[in-house]
Amino acid sequence: MTGEKIIKNALISVFHKDGLGAIAQKLNQLGVNIYSTGGTQKFIEEQGISVNKVEDLTSYPSILSGRVKTLHPKVFGGILARREEENDQLQLAEYDIPEFDLVIVDLYPFEKTITSTNNEQDIIEKIDIGGISLIRAAAKNYKDVVIVSEMSQYDELLKILEQGKSTVLAQRKKFAATAFNISSHYDTAIFKYFSSDDKNVFKQSIRTKKALRYGENPHQEGIFFGKIDDLFEQKNGKELSYNNLLDVDAAVNLIAEFDECTFVVLKHNNACGIATREKLIDAWKDALAGDPVSAFGGVLITNREVDLETANEISKLFFEVIIATSYNEDALKILCQKKNRIVLVQKEIAFPNIQFRTALNGVLYQEKDVKTDSVSEMKIATKTTPTDKQFIDLEFASKVCKHTKSNTIVFAKNKQLLASGVGQTSRVDALKQAVVKANNFGFDLNGAVMASDAFFPFPDCVELANNAGIKTVIQPGGSIKDQLSIDYCNVNDISMVITGTRHFKH
């Protein structure tokens, strides 16, 4: 069954009028009776089209400065009446209520308002009451009524009207599904405005989506929900993949820790190279030196404009994505020579300070780890005190460690990542991995510092670090056996600072 229905009467009440003129003209050509009120009525009449006033139907004017216009049984009765129910039809006839076969609504822009003003009264007035009620009523009665609930659907409706003034059940049900999506999203936005700190309920709604080529692997479907164009301007390359997006997320969070000129190379969400230098070209070269093998196919990010000299050096490496604050014209030409290479300009935008992920049959929610271990907060736990230069490296290493998968150990010297042990089940194994990597790439660990994302339960880690040449350590502390590691450091002339802040990342 197609469930074909003829549109005889249409109710139109919209905030945005863009594109509405063509719809009104087509309805008029098809002989559909149009009902409207307020600004929408005026707009349609200005198109030279006759409009039935809602006020004439209800015998009530728009009241309370427009807060109440369509909230009336003669309006909602015409929308909710079931065409196949005899009693419904008898009541429509008794009270002289027309059947509304098409309802077009465009809600007050609540979300746009809260981003453009802090004036509470202005925000409250943009909470749509009549419009949201019309949407829900028409969507509920989709078997008989078409509901167009935002102006992005005007083109779709116009295509249907080009074929005549009838609709089929599948079309009406599709419009209804979108309507409930819009109404629930709208209500979620209002709830979050009133209850931004309410942790008793989890509500998120993102209507903007982008289908990805696939998920983490080719056999998995992948979708990104969000407005990626708000964050980046893409200058070149293919579309970002699921894995690209995870790496880009890790990259922008890590680079945000640094104000000085810094370059980062990431692979599988972890930094495999990072360096802070006065000149960008030097930051790039020293970041790449950290692990030139893992850098192949990686994601690059810097907090400076990329110049021609640096672009020429970068282009010697195969990489997936580069992100920068800007590129000079010549550098951009070099970087865009590979058609699939993704070149992004990062825009200035605040990121949310919450994180959530699915777990079991629910959702895990947490505040973002925004704590940075600054030198001023480091507590010296040993007889030996780090030098000023070592304190700078300790802060650098701690920032990298915070953004590396646990268990992790990070070695750094002269504001350069020398090596890291990443994602190991044992902190000892993470340390051994870091030592092997540093040796493989020819780094001298004498004078380097070591950072750990969590405490040392035994002195084995500081002993291994000492044997590798490390003489300065930063760790959160908190083990009941902290003193064992501190005692070892004191005996072996190693300086250790404790932050009191763990930085697990899973």
Question: Which residues are identified as catalytic?
Answer: 140, 268
Distance (Å, rounded) from C-alpha 273 to C-alpha 252? 15
Q: Look at strands 298-302 and 305-306 and give their pairing.
A: unpaired
Work out the burial of residue 358: count CB atoms within 10 Å of its CB; fewer than 13 is exposed, 13-18 middle, 19 or more buried: exposed
Best CA proximity match to 71, nearest among 10, 136, 19, 25: 136
Best CA proximity match to 452, nearest among 491, 407, 482: 407
Residue 427: its H or E element: helix 427-440
For 335, the 3-state DSSP assignment is helix
What are the φ/ψ torsions at residue 258 (nearest 5 degrees)?
-115, 135
Q: How many CB atoms lie within 10 A of CB 130?
A: 21
Distance (Å, rounded) from C-alpha 329 to C-alpha 34? 55
Cα–Cα distance list, 39 to 46, 53, 69 (Å): 11, 11, 11
Q: How many CB atoms lie within 10 A of CB 455?
A: 18
Q: Check if the beta carbon of residue 317 is closer than 8 Å to that of residue 334.
A: no
Can you read off the two tokens belonging to residue 263? 């370059």
Cα–Cα distance list, 433 to 45, 156, 440 (Å): 75, 58, 11
For 163, the 3-state DSSP assignment is coil
Phi-psi region at 302: left, alpha or beta (left = phi > 0; alpha = psi -120 to 50):
beta
Q: With the CA atoms of 465, 470, 473 and 479 taken in that order, what torsion angle do they form, in degrees rounded to the nearest 10?
A: 20
For 253, the 3-state DSSP assignment is helix
Tell me, what amino acid is at 289?
A
Report DSSP state, residue 377.
G
What are the φ/ψ torsions at residue 240 (nearest 5 degrees)?
-65, 135
